[in-house]
Amino acid sequence: MTDSATTDRATGGYASAVAAYLKDRADADAEIRAADTAYRDESAKLADAVESARTSRDEANRSSVAAATLVAETDKAVAILWRSLGDFVGHRRTGPTPPAGAPDPDPDTERVRARLERSGRLLALARQGELPIEAPRHTEATAAAIGAATGALAVAIALGVLRADDTAVRQALAALTLFLGIATGPIVLGVWLSWQYRVRPRPGQTLACVGAAVFAVCALAGFFMRGL
């Protein structure tokens, strides 16, 4: 009876030891798998971080090269535009090429190039005597004064022609002079606006000039030539 109990206790102890061993081994395997999974996850995250850093570095290098290219291109274009402006208005007025201003906090390559192209177009228009701007409001009054002056000058010339010899040829020449006086007003206006403001006559200015010329011709011709 004693030997049997001892055997049962030994068997039970062995079974418990085996069960504990298997449990410990299962726990160890679980920990190893967890550690392996964590290692693989961390390795993947590290690889992603490295790849992201490389991508950022490559983008930064490309941005740096693009920025350097844009700076060189802009400096060259600005120097050319500034020399062209000096050729147009005089190098004494422009002076040396101005230094670069404050950097743009949000540079945009397309915006910079668009500005350079617009500056080039404006300079080309200025050389042709036109800028896409409006002249001051008082230029309409000046246009009317120019028209009245050319009309009055035409009447004076026509009066001189008729007083010299009142023949049919002279009368035709005097009438032609009056028409030319009206037509000369817009031409003089265009020359003045181009010289003063680098713009061309607008419709309102042209109408004011022609209207004043017609009024001056009609009024002065009717007053001075009625006795001829």
**Are residues 178 and 144 part of one domain?**
yes
Which of 13-17, 101-105, 154-158 has the lowest average pLDDT? Answer: 101-105
Predicted confidence at residue 210, as pLDDT, reads: 92
Average confidence score pLDDT of the chain: 79
Confidence of residue 1 (pLDDT cuts 50, 70, 90): very low
Take residue 179 and report the two structure tokens written for it. Answer: 């028409």
**Are residues 143 and 198 part of one domain?**
yes
Mean pLDDT of 159-188: 83
**Are residues 188 and 213 part of one domain?**
yes
Percent of the chain with pLDDT over 70: 78
**Are residues 214 and 183 part of one domain?**
yes
Residue 14 domain flag: no
- Domain with 197, as residue range(s), is 139-224
Predicted confidence at residue 147, as pLDDT, reads: 92
Could you tell me if 150 and 179 are in contact, meaning their C-beta atoms sit under 8 angstroms apart? no
Examine the fold and report which residue of 67, 93, 127 is the final residue of a domain before the chain moves on. 127
What's the CA gap between 139 and 148, in Å, rounded?
A: 14
Judging by beta carbons within 10 Å of its beta carbon (0-12, 13-18, 19+), is residue 208 exposed, middle or buried?
buried
**pLDDT tops 70 at residue 58:** yes
Residue 116 domain flag: yes
Take residue 91 and report the two structure tokens written for it. Answer: 């190098």
Of 220, 73, 104, 88, nearest to 159 by C-alpha is 220
**Are residues 143 and 219 part of one domain?**
yes
Take residue 129 and report the two structure tokens written for it. Answer: 């005597």
SS3 of 131, please?
coil
Residue 50 domain flag: no
Q: At what angle do helices 2-89 and 109-127 cross, to 10 degrees?
A: 10
Q: At what angle do helices 168-197 and 203-224 cross, to 10 degrees?
A: 150
- Number of domains observed in the structure of the chain: 2
Mean pLDDT of 70-74: 81
Could you tell me if 205 and 147 are in contact, meaning their C-beta atoms sit under 8 angstroms apart? no
Neighbouring C-beta atoms of residue 216, cutoff 10 Å = 23
**Are residues 175 and 197 part of one domain?**
yes
Predicted confidence at residue 166, as pLDDT, reads: 63
Residue 106 domain flag: yes
Tell how many helices (H) and how many strands (E) occur in the chain.
6, 0
The most confident of 71-75, 84-88, 145-149, 222-226, by mean pLDDT: 145-149
**Are residues 195 and 153 part of one domain?**
yes
**Are residues 160 and 92 part of one domain?**
no
Range list of H helices, 90-228: 91-94, 109-127, 139-164, 168-197, 203-224
Residue 196 domain flag: yes
Residue pointed to by tokens 């350097």:
68
Take residue 139 and report the two structure tokens written for it. Answer: 């230029």
Proportion of the chain in helix, strand, coil states, percent, rounded to 5: 85, 0, 15
Residue 220 domain flag: yes
**pLDDT tops 90 at residue 220:** no
Confidence of residue 209 (pLDDT cuts 50, 70, 90): very high
Could you tell me if 181 and 189 are in contact, meaning their C-beta atoms sit under 8 angstroms apart? no
Work out the angle at residue 181's Cα, subtended by the Cα atoms of residues 179 and 186, and round it to the nearest 5 degrees. 105
The terminus-to-terminus CA distance of the chain in angstroms comes to 168
pLDDT digits 0-9 by tens, 100-127: 666 666 667 788 778 878 777 777 776 6
**Are residues 91 and 165 part of one domain?**
no
Mean pLDDT of 142-170: 85
Residue 104 domain flag: yes
Which of 50-59, 84-93, 212-221 has the lowest average pLDDT? Answer: 84-93
Q: Which residue has the higher pLDDT, 178 or 134?
A: 178
Q: Which residue has the higher pLDDT, 131 or 109?
A: 109
Neighbouring C-beta atoms of residue 164, cutoff 10 Å = 10
Mean pLDDT of 165-178: 79
**Are residues 199 and 168 part of one domain?**
yes
